[in-house]
Amino acid sequence: MSDQLGPVFAALADPTRRRMLDAMLLQGSTSVPDLTADLPISRQAIAKHMATLGQARLVQRVDRQPAGREVRYQLRPGALHEASAWLAQADAAWEQRLGRLKQVVEGKVEG
C-alpha cells in the first residue's frame, strides 16, 4: 500500500468521519456548525475530524464569494480513485487465490 493510502484508510476507519462524508455527499458541502447540529459531538471534535479528513486529502475548503466567516468543506474530486483502484486489485487477487484453493480442494488441480 502506498504511503498516500494509509491516511485515507485511517480516516475512513472512523464512523463519525464517514457520517461527515455522507453529509457532504448529500448536501454538496458542509461546515463545522452544520455538522455540530447533526452529530452528538462537540464543535472541537468535529473540527479535529475535519482536519483528519483534510490531511487525508478527502475534503477541501470551498471558496466562497463574498468571503464569509463560516468555512465550508466539500469532497475533493477523485479523492478515492487510488484507494478504489487498490481495493479492486486486492479483491481480484483475493478472488483468484480463493478460486485456486477451491480447485485444489475439489481435486480439479494438484496443490
pLDDT digits (tens, 9 = 90+) for 68-87: 678 899 999 999 999 999 99
pLDDT computed for residue 111 by the predictor? 59
What global pTM score does this model have? Answer: 0.79
Give the span between the Cα atoms of 107 and 99, in whole angstroms. Answer: 12
For residue 1, pLDDT over 60 is answered with no
Average pLDDT estimate for 28-52: 94
Calculate helix-pair angle for 5-12, 81-105, nearest 10 degrees.
80
pLDDT computed for residue 65 by the predictor? 60
5-77 CATH, one of 1.10.10.10, 1.10.357.10, 3.60.21.10, 1.20.1250.30: 1.10.10.10
Give the type of residue at 35: L
